[in-house]
Structure 1
Amino acid sequence: MVFTIVPLIELIMPSLTSNLDAESKESKLKNKLFDILLWLNVPIIFSVLIYGLYMYSISNFETYEVMGLIFTLGIVAGSNGINVAHELGHRQESWERFLGKILLLPSLYMHFYIEHNYGHHVNAATPEDPASARYNESLYAFWWRSVINQYKNSWSIQNRLLKVNDQSFYSIKNDMLWYTVIQLSYLIIIGLSFSWMTSIIALCIAVVGFSLLEIINYLEHYGLRRVQKKSGRYEVVREIHSWNSNHALGRILLYELTRHSDHHYRANKKYQLLDYHENSPQLPYGYPTMMVIATIPPLWFSIVNKHVPQEMIELSENKNRHL
């Protein structure tokens, strides 16, 4: 239903390009409701997840019911879990970042915190970033490349951080080690509490959850490239290096993630304050609709490729081009 009714509704809802004035921004920044809406996802998601796993463990579901359960809980883990975790992961308060990491647990994607903050935001829209889709790269090719290389990058970043701080691999500061222990413990606890088959269901839910993230990753930077200077460094991330969408429903459901251009331009800005930039590449439809289209590569290429700036297509085809 999420990927049928929502896209249809989105087609008839308006695209809102207006930005808040200074007074409205100040008011929304002080309004704690926007923060509470994020925090509430922690008890909601884990309550729904535990209830779903419990019902599976005591019921004799048909195959189609099991599939429905996996996809339903996976969508919750991805849209309300990882999406909100992404927002909280950029917060200044350590306890909010902690909540963000907890929300990554149902998708077994806790390494996302490290790779996203220390990798993706540095390398977005460059060949070095596994979470930036290449021009003419299908979603399915991207999925494998992104999932595998983001995990590898997370360990590389973690090892570098440990080295900089003169810490050993087995240091308490090794977050990647903690994430591994916590996620394995999560599956073991589910197995001991319900059944080992329920742990497998939880694993399947996680795959759906992080796959939802990867579809969104695919949309956000597809075909966009930053210019590499003669020094080897890339130009600063600007509004033109992320796909933007102002379609109202997608903005509401995804906590303004669809104004991704401004998020990368100013990563510490809270979601309710994100702006629209006229020079940002605009997706022809909202994120929910584009997610469906992305699953059909020929359709995606026919719709999106003509919107990719020509100069970025040339950069994709010639990685050695310099300023």
Structure 2
Amino acid sequence: MAAPVLTAPGGLAWRDGKRYMWLTAIIVPLLAIVGYGLWHRTGVELHWWITPLFVFVLVPLLDMTTPPDPVNPPEEIRAALEADRYYRRCTYLYPPLAGVGLLLGASAWTNGDLSWSARIGVVVSVGTVTGVGITTAHELGHKRGIFERWLARLMLAPAAYGHFSVEHNRGHHVRVATAADPASARLGESFWRFWPRTVVGSLRSAWSLEAARLRLRGRRVWSVRNEVVLGWLLTAVLFLALAVEFGPAVLVFLVAQAAFGFTLLEGVNYIEHYGLARELTPSGRYEKVDPRHSWNSDAVISNLALYQLQRHSDHHANPTRRYQALRSFEASPQLPAGYATLLLAAYLPPVWFRVMDDRVVEHYGGDVSRANLHPARRAALLTRYRSPSGPPPSGTEVDGSPSRGGVRG
């Protein structure tokens, strides 16, 4: 079936050659469902590993063997492209399929007489579904429609990350590429040091932002009007309902898959802005976020699977722009591979540093002091790259803490 032709008011006609390929994302929850079905029918526990093999093996292989796609849809066609509800429906399919996968995983965990290796497979399979699902929630949560925002909340519940939308939309998008942002990784900071900083820091930030919003409106902080509290309640209701249905033992599975899922999300956060820094202007405010402050990739398959999250610079410049209309910019620093490939490197710090550190320094013309440096490795990095002595990066003191006044940009 050929994709329909979209027409701009001036008469320009354009066809999206990838229109039906945007359904790639729902392969992830579908494979978890298929894996359950094959295991249930054959008893072969290896079927639980179909989903992670697709995400962490097949997608990277396809990315590496498929030419990158830097082509942007014509800007004149944007209104028609974003008005086409087909693209929204592609995202709407993911949450219910993820819910089915979660239920099947819970059933197998409690009723399946699984070996320990199979239990790990169940956790990884379903955790991959909920982790990739956070990127779906990310796309939905940036939109203004009530239905899409509620779908985002429901998709975040299995991963116990209901605070994500608050912190991401109102925290990360303001403080991105500064030392004050818990979701912006610093040059020389391993993923395993970044993980506790971002998990705890993002939760604290979300609570602080939401409490300030409610107090400003004269409302109680502890109420269902609090988006963080609402997110906790949705997760609690979901986990309690599954515990009633399958027994308390299912809680071990639910917590484990949630931890795996949000660790995938934080791995993506780690990649997106690693080492990048915004500078302070003479006025004392941070420079405006632009394409230089996000790592990007035009890897085709992982972009299809993640709703073009890898065109991250345009997302930060235009948070409400729908995924099918996001653009690739020549000025954006480019990753050597897609997220699915680099996630594995991120979990292995020596590999990650070898792959990325020189790229960060090259992005800053050889002056490492302009990067967002991990305080514990600042001296070593300055020595290694022979950087001229300069001011701390992006509004930080030498010890890496935010300068007085915090983020003002």
Interval of TM-score (by shorter of Structure 1 and Structure 2): over 0.9
Residue pairs, 1:102-121, within 5 angstroms = 102-121=154-173
Shift of residue 231, structure 1, vs aligned partner:
4.0
Q: 1:70 aligns with which of 105, 113, 123?
A: 123
Distance in 2, matches of 1:200 and 1:321, equals: 41
1:310 equivalent in alignment to 2:383: no
Is the 1:133–1:142 Cα contact (8 Å) retained in structure 2? Answer: yes
CA spacing shift, 1:274–1:320, aligned 2, 3 Å: closer
Of 217, 223, 226, 1:174 maps to 226
Partners in 2 of 1:259 and 1:208 — Cα distance? 24
Contact 2:279–2:393 (8 Å) recurs in 1: no
* 1:1-323 superposed matches below 5 A: 1=53, 2-79=55-132, 81-308=133-360, 309-310=363-364, 313-315=368-370, 316-317=372-373, 318-319=391-392
AA aligned opposite 2:60: P
* CA shift in 2, pair 1:145/1:121, >3 Å: same
Cα distance in 1 for residues equivalent to 2:248 and 2:294: 42
Structure 2 distance, partners of 1:19, 1:10, is 18
State the identity %: 35
**What amino acid is aligned across from residue 292 of structure 1 in structure 2?**
L
Offset of residue 225 of structure 1: 0.4
Q: Could you tell me the TM-score, scaled by structure 2's length? A: 0.76
Partner SS state of residue 188, structure 2: coil
Q: Alignment length, in residue pairs? A: 321
Code of the aligned partner of 1:57: T
Residue aligned with 1:196, SS: coil
Residue 128 of structure 1: SS of its match in structure 2?
coil
CA 1:321/1:126 → structure 2, altered by over 3 Å: closer, same or farther? closer
Structure 1 residues 320, 77: closer, same or farther in 2, change over 3 A?
closer
In 2, the alpha carbon distance for the partners of 1:201 and 1:135 equals 34
CA contact (8 A) 2:143 2:149 kept: yes
1:243 to partner: Cα distance? 0.5
Give the residue type in structure 2 aligned to 1:319.
Answer: P
Instruction: Encode CA deviations 1:33-90: one digit per residue, 9 max, x unaligned.
Output: 11001011121110111122112221110000000000000000011x1010000011
Gaps of 5+ in 2: 1-52, 374-390, 396-409
Return the offset for 1:235. Answer: 1.0
CA distance in 2, matches of 1:172, 1:278: 44
In structure 1, C-alpha distance between the alignment counterparts of 2:284 and 2:162, rounded to whole Å: 31
| Contact 2:87–2:324 (8 Å) recurs in 1 | yes
Which region of structure 1 is more displaced relative to structure 2, 216-225 or 164-173? 164-173
CA shift at 1:294, angstroms?
Answer: 1.1
Superposed displacement of residue 230, structure 1: 4.1
* Bigger Cα Rg: 2
Letter in 2 for 1:4: V
Alpha-carbon contact 1:223-1:313 (below 8 Å) kept: no
Asked if 2 retains the 8 angstrom alpha-carbon contact of 1:125 and 1:241, the reply is yes
Cα deviation, residue 290, structure 1 = 1.1
Q: CA RMSD in A?
A: 1.6
Unaligned stretches of 5+ in structure 1?
none
What one-letter code is carried by the residue in structure 1 that aligns with 2:234? I
Q: 1:52 to 1:43 in 2, by over 3 A?
A: same
Amino acid across the alignment from 1:153: S
Give how far 1:305 is off: 1.3
Distance 1:21 1:100, change over 3 A: same
Q: Which stretch of structure 1 is more off in the superposition, 231-240 or 108-117?
A: 231-240
Cα offset, 1:293, TM superposition: 1.2
- Of the structure 1 ranges 222-231 and 138-147, higher mean CA displacement relative to structure 2 is found in 222-231
CA separation in 1, counterparts of 2:279 and 2:191? 24
